[in-house]
Structure formats: structure tokens, C-alpha cells
Amino acid sequence: MRIILLLAAATVAACANQPLPIMQTASNPLLQPSPLPYEYPPFDRIKPEHYMPAFEAGMAESLAEIDAITAQDAPPTFENTIVAMEQGGETLGRVQSIFFNLVGTHGTDDLQAIYGEISPKLAAHQDKVFLNKALFDRVDALYQQRDTLDLDDESRRLLERYHVNFVRAGARLAADEQTRLREINTELSRLTTQFQQNLLKHTNELAVVVEDRAQLAGLSDSAIEAAAGTARDRGIEGYVLTLQLPTLQPQLAELEDRALRERIHRASIQRGNTDGALDNRPVLREIVALRAERAQLLGYDTHADYVLANATAGTADAVNTLLAKLAKPSVVNARKEGERLQQAVDAAGESFDLKVWDWPYYREIVRKADYDFDQSALKPYFEMERVLTDGVFFMAEKLYGLRFERRDHLPKYHPDITVYEVFEDNGAALGIFVFDPFARDTKRGGAWMNSYVQQSRLLGTRPVVANHLNVTKPAEGEPVLLSPYEVNTMFHEFGHAVHGLLSDVHYPYFSGTAVPRDFVEYPSQVHEMWAFWPEVMENYARHHETGEPLPQEMIERYKSTEQFNQGYDSTEYLAASLLDQAWHQLTPDAIPEDVEAFEAAALEQAGVALELVPPRYRSTYFAHVFSGGYSAGYYSYVWSEVLDADTVAWFKEDGGLSRKNGDRMRYGILAPGGSVDAQAMYEAFRGRPAEIAPLLERRGLTAE
């Protein structure tokens, strides 16, 4: 039984000793290992009605597995207790990985309904495992004997992590406290599901409808046709501009119509902030209150203290110190940038004061004026398929010796995905990579990686991983041209993918990205450097019509803007991180009645309350922390960026894109997964602790 916290996206146990009835197994593809290579999911055979029976069967098996472990007459050993739990989980783990991944990437109404029903049941099931006294007694007995068990390093760490997870899940609480904990966990699973479903529905409802094509001046023809296609799909006359997850919408950088820019922005910040059934304000208040109560029940002052005690950061004070150190100079730079943009407004003969919805538009005007560079001029050179195959895959081959071959015969959950088999340079099969690039109404916002099958030598499994983006799909026959930001995102998410693909651990518990939250973004952020690395760009950045390479002078002009708008970018990110901490450093008796007032006061107190620079996510659509796994952990990106910037400096000093450097990254950082302490792993890789100077220099914060 692989015990990983359910709603943090992992696997709970299933029993290998209790075979399912033959007829039930034969009719439900989820109840048996996939016959496809790598146990790749048989998406073409899975139907919505298969999920609930499979979940119920998996949970029943899981409890039988626990009973089998605890009923043994033999005293606990590492093999008959810890390894036994690691070897279980086959059925429930398979169902969870497929279901929750599809809810995020193709969450049809049928799946959303199941999501709402199964989440509290799974939370209750998880408590039955972690709060099983007989099971914990066996784990605890082994933990107390750990120095005498003659375990290898990975096995010892596995025992220690199991013990930590049981204690943090409430195994040492009194019976009445465990009863309350079960109630809290069940309710939190319901509320976080409701938050996500409200957000998805409201985001779709708030898509901006435009009747007059003239209002779309500034958008490319392909973007306009895509908006028209979305309108047709929804049975609406005109054009539909859908919303993406962050506060600032990408269309704002191009639309000339100021009134339309304002409409889009106001729709963006309204998500979840509405009277009625889709109002996320009472939902998030209750989430915060229950998390705070649970933390104190488990012996922590706040939910942030609870989360951070199990992270690399260690304490809320460490996180607060880093965020405060970066916030002040970031705000100074953002204010200077705002003044420069106002100058551009005035120079254009306009008489208005710059507003939030004007910032992206005038940012591009200033970029062009001050750097002689129009960022949109790069898009014709960034055709998506070429960026993937001649950019991302090229980088992976140069660094790690990986090769990718399409496998169009494998079934798909949506026609837009592409499936690749991955090979080592010696021809050995490694795993499967799924690429899912386009936005759709059934897909949550943002970009992410997930695993369908995790690598494990114990189980003999090889990885099946996927990358998901939210690129606007163009009209039929039009090329998919990416912005520099989207190119960067593609390389970032692939960094997560190779973390899963190159995993080389014995126990599934440690596989791939199963590392602390404030470490998991580090490898992916390092991989962003290759997006604009000269050798990589030369291979993929070619005009989609002529095949001509991206001119060197355009590359140089783009690189000259690397610190441009960094004040804004840093401040909007830090504001969201500080907001996350403000909510999750509350005690149960301090939950505010007014969400907007609390948010405003928290930003003011942190020194990031800039009218022109809203948080990247406001509370009512902050899915990372109220329905995802980043509660009290959104700081992780900048914490990881300290390591990232320090590692990029090492790559540049040591020869850049080479197999030698790739092997050091592979075997020092990626392959061990969570089997080694993250801080110790980094220091062994780098030869010293990380230094913050490269990050400050990257973000233009060195003067402060």
C-alpha cells in the first residue's frame, strides 16, 4: 500500500490478496492492470460509470490489506509492514491517478459529479488508514528500532517518512480528537472540490462576448478566428474571449480597445467573487477555518506552521523573511515601471491615468520604444510542434540522451493529445510522455505535469507522465504560434516531466516529483534556461512559413529585455505568496468575515498593496492554495528559484548544454526523487549551499 496523502494527488492502499470477482473485473477496465505498454491507461475503454465501482472496490481492498498486515502473528518487520504497504495500492492507486488527472484535464460534467461524490469518501478512507492504531503501532515499533534494523539508506528514509506521515495525520491523537479530525478532513475534501468546481463554472460563465470584430483590433487574425470558433462551439453570435487562471489576461497586451480591456479585467477579478451558488468567499473562509483548527489539533499554531514543518523551509519565519526581503525592492521597481508606462500613455496623447488593464498594453509599447523590440514579432518563429520536437526534445537528447517516438496507436482521452514513447540513447525503453497543449472548457487553468504510472524498481513499473498547457487553439488549418511566455512554460513543464521520466528509485513512495513542495519546482525552473539557450534556439526558432532562423539581432534584443517588467512580475507573484501566508498563518479565532477587506489589509501590511499591480491570484480564484496542493506553499516557486538561479550559474560556468552536465543533473537531482533529503541532495550536487545572489541579479534586485 503506497500511502500518500490523497488530495495532494497520490495513492492509497489496495489489497493484492483479495481478487475481484471475474465478471466484475472483466467488465471494468479500471479493476485490472492495463494490458497496454507501460500500463498506459486504456482511455478508449474507460467510461464514467466505471469509476465509482472501481473506487469502492479499491477502498474495500485497501482496508482488507490493512487488516492482513495488522492481523499477522509475526512481530512487525520492515518487509511485512512497510514493504507490504508499498506493494499494495494497485487498484485504488490506478483509479485515483486516472480519475483525478482527467478531472483536471478533461473534466466533463459526468466526471465533475463523481468528483463531488467521491472526494469526501476518499478522505474518510484515508483517515481509516492513518488513524488505524494497530497499523501505527507496527510502524512506530519499527521506527523506534530503526537503528538496529540494518536498513539501506532508502529503506531507512522510507520508514522515517511513513512514521512522519502517520503522526502528522493524527495517529497519536486521543479517540475524541481523531473523531473531530475525521470530520474536518471529510469537510475539507468537500469544500476544496466545491472551490474548484465553482471556479471552473464561473470562469466559463464570465468569458467575454464581443459582437463587433472591430473591437478586437490588435489581436492576430488567428486569435480572432479562434474566438469566433469558441463562440460557435457555445452557440453564441460573435466572438468569445475565454479567461485564463492568472489575474492579468494575455489579450490585454494586444487589444487596442481600452473599454474591452477593462471588461476583460473586471471579469477576471470577479471569478468566485459573486453572490449565489458560485460564490467562493464563504467556501474559502471555511477552508481556512478548518485548516487552522486541524493544525492546532495536531499541535501546531497555524496551518502554515503545519505545512512548513514538513518542507525544506522548515518554519513560517524563514518563509516570511525571504518574501519580505524580496518584496521591498520589487515594489520599488514596479513603481518605477508604472511611472514609465504613464509616460507612454501621455506621449500617446491620452488623458487618462494608467490602470491595471492598461499595464500589459503599454508595457509592450514601452518595450518596443525602449528596447526596439516587439515581443509579438517572435511568435512566427515559435510554431508549437517545432518548439516541442526541435526544442524541448532536442534539449532532452543533448542533456540526457533521450529519444522520442510518436505512438499514435495508443488511445487518447481527447483528440488534441499526442503520445510519445521515450528511449534512452542505448535504445532501452524508458517510459511514455503525453503532450496536451490546448485550452478547453473542461480543462482547469494553468499548466502542470502529472503521472499516470510512477517508476519503481520494487513494483517493476516504468513512468507514464503528461504535460498540460492552456494554449489557445487556432482555427482549423492555422499554425499554433506561441508567445515567449508559452515557450518558457513548455520547457518548465517538461522539467517536471523529466523529473518523472528519469526517476530511478526502489520504492514508489519516492518516485519522480515526490519531493518537498518547495523543492519540486526547482528542476522545472532550471529547465526554463534552455528555452532561449543559443544552441537550442538555433534548432527550433524558425519562421513557420519560410523556415528562416530567428535573426540574431532579434534574439539579442529579446535578451536585453530579460529584466524588463521584473518589478511587476516579482510583485504580483510575491503578493500572491504573501496572501497565501496571510490566510494560512491565521488561528481559528481570527478568521475574517470580509474576504476583500482581509485581502486588502494583508497586502497593505506586507507592503505590496499597489493599485496597478494586483496579486497574480486573488483569493476567490487562488486555486493553487484553496483547491490544489500549494496551501501555505505558493512561496515554493521563489524558494526553488534560489536553487534554480544558483544552478543556472553553475551550468553557465561549466559548459552549458552537455551530456556531462546533464548526467550530473540527472543522477544528482532527478533520479533520486524523494529518496534523499532535498537540502542534502542540493548541497551534494552543487558542492555547497545555494547562494541568493544569482536570483537577485536575475530579477534586477541587486541595488536594494
| Residues belonging to the active site | 493
Q: What's the number of CA atoms in the CB half-sphere (13 Å) around residue 183? A: 9
Which of the 8 DSSP states describes residue 452?
A: E
| Helix (H), strand (E) at residue 466 | strand 464-471
Among candidate residues 311, 318, 315, 285, the one with its CA nearest the CA of residue 302? 315
Quote the cell numbers at residue 649.
Answer: 550559474
Which of the 8 DSSP states describes residue 79?
A: I
Quote the cell numbers at residue 189.
Answer: 475534501
CB of 31 closer than 8 Å to CB of 24: yes
Quote the cell numbers at residue 389.
Answer: 520536437
Mapping DSSP to helix (H, G, I), strand (E, B) and coil, where does residue 15 land?
Answer: coil
Chain-centre distance of CA 369, in angstroms? 35
Q: Which residues of 92-116 are buried (b: 16+ CB within 10 A; e: fewer)?
A: bbbbbbbbbbbbbbbbeeebbebbe
CA-to-CA distance for 427 and 591, rounded, in angstroms? 57
Torsion of Cα atoms, 214 then 216 then 221 then 227, to 10° = -120
Q: Is 212 exposed, middle or buried (0-12, 13-18, 19+ CB in 10 A)?
A: exposed
CA-to-CA distance for 60 and 125, rounded, in angstroms? 9
What is the β-pairing status of strands 464-471 and 429-438?
parallel
Q: Which residues contact 174 (CB under 8 A, 6 or more apart)?
A: none
| Helix (H), strand (E) at residue 702 | none
Quote the cell numbers at residue 549.
Answer: 532562423
CA-to-CA distance for 659 and 649, rounded, in angstroms? 17
Among candidate residues 149, 171, 169, the one with its CA nearest the CA of residue 159? 149
> What sections of 234-380 are H helices per DSSP?
258-270, 281-297, 303-308, 316-347, 359-371
| Helix (H), strand (E) at residue 184 | helix 175-205
Could you tell me the end-to-end alpha-carbon distance of the chain, in angstroms, rounded to an integer?
Answer: 51
Query: What DSSP letter does each residue of 185-196 carry, written as one string?
Result: HHHHHHHHHHHH
Q: Which residues contact 323 (CB under 8 A, 6 or more apart)?
A: 574, 577, 578, 581, 606, 635, 638
CA-to-CA distance for 454 and 460, rounded, in angstroms? 10
**One-letter identity of residue 464:** V
CA-to-CA distance for 496 and 487, rounded, in angstroms? 15
Q: Which residue has the cell 472551490?
A: 195
Task: Name 405's bridge partners.
Answer: 421
Task: Name 419's bridge partners.
Answer: 434
Q: Which residues contact 22 (CB under 8 A, 6 or more apart)?
A: none
Task: Name 549's bridge partners.
Answer: 542
CA distances from 607 to 144, 579, 604, 615 (A): 47, 11, 5, 12
Q: Where on the phi/psi map is residue 249: left (φ > 0), alpha (ψ -120 to 50), or beta?
A: beta
